[in-house]
Amino acid sequence: MQQIVEKGAGLAVKLAREAGGILMESLGTGIGIELKGEINPVTEFDRKVEEFLVSGIRKEFPDHDFLAEEQTTPEGISQFRWVIDPIDGTTNYAHGYPCFAVSIALEHKGSALLGVIYQPATREMFTATAGGGAFLNGHPMKVSKKVTGLENSFLVTGFPYNLRQPGVLERNLKRFAKFLGESFAVRRDGSAAYDLACLAAGRFDGFWEENLSPWDTIAGYLMVCEAGGVVTDFNGEKFDPLSSKSILAAGTEELHRKMLSFLS
């Protein structure tokens, strides 16, 4: 198992960096957008990068399974599964806004073994392995433990792609308004993977979002845990990166409890 994690982590870092290079070559060049939903875009680069990552991993781990956002679905033939988001923050990328990330994780029987999140525009490589800690460009990461109250907290969130369904917009705006009124500040960057990585690095104090998919959260979830943070769903139950539909993460248990009271 350890050999797979070490080999897989090195490969994921290499491929994520190369994928980031592909994306940066075309950033801001008028990329064509298709829609998977009313406000859920996909570009040719989502598919191109996904194919690049899956192909690269499959060469080294031909018996492993895959779950990726655009096209690659699991076959159920292996207990090891790579969970990939080729561009987390497609809307940003398609509009030339440099806040997006490549996210790669490996899970085994539902448990995250490794996570890699690469932000090509800033050349930030976030990594984590289960029990091995979390790192930013090779330096250890720790969540912020300075803030325990909402009034001093720097928070980040995102809005789901199903906002136009009945009641979803109103529910999310109510939560946003509550946190905006009680916290020091709230940001909405458009990339859940990068948001979680930044929380693990101590930049944000808390993060919440609903209706995310495994490829949005699994790598970042592992990073926050390995950096000493607290992660649950909106009900305070243990977060499952493969099935939970809401996520609440914070640097301290006290802040987490206060945020949870706004959400549950």
Question: Domain boundary residue among 88, 107, 140?
Answer: 140
> Are 44 and 133 members of one domain?
yes
> Are 96 and 172 members of one domain?
no
Question: Domain boundary residue among 140, 170, 191?
Answer: 140
Segments forming the whole domain that contains residue 207: 150-263
**Can you tell me the mean pLDDT for 98-124?**
97
pLDDT for residue 1: 85
DSSP 4: H
Q: What percent of the chain has pLDDT over 70?
A: 92
Specify the higher pLDDT residue, 72 or 88.
88
Pairing outcome for strands 65-68 and 80-88: parallel
C-alpha triplet 82, 161, 75: angle, nearest 5° = 25
Q: Is residue 225 part of a domain?
A: yes
pLDDT for residue 42: 66
Question: Domain boundary residue among 87, 120, 140?
Answer: 140
Using an 8 Å Cβ cutoff, are 126 and 138 in contact?
no
Pairing outcome for strands 206-210 and 230-232: unpaired
> Are 157 and 58 members of one domain?
no
Q: pLDDT for 136-164, tens place per residue?
A: 999 999 999 999 999 999 999 999 888 77
Catalytic residue set: 69, 85, 87-88, 90, 216
Q: How confident is the model at residue 166 (pLDDT cuts 50, 70, 90)?
A: confident
pLDDT for residue 162: 80
CATH number at residue 204: 3.40.190.80
CATH number at residue 107: 3.30.540.10
Strand order in the sheet with 80-88: 65-68, 80-88, 101-108, 111-119, 124-129, 133-136, 139-140
Amino acid making up residue 101: A
Is the predicted pLDDT of residue 241 greater than 80, yes or no?
A: yes
Q: Is residue 145 part of a domain?
A: no
> Are 159 and 242 members of one domain?
yes
CA separation for the pair 44, 185 (Å, rounded)? 35
Phi, psi values for residue 74, rounded to 5°: -65, 145
> Are 115 and 210 members of one domain?
no
> Are 125 and 18 members of one domain?
yes
pLDDT for residue 74: 59
**Number of CB atoms found within 10 A of residue 97's CB:** 15
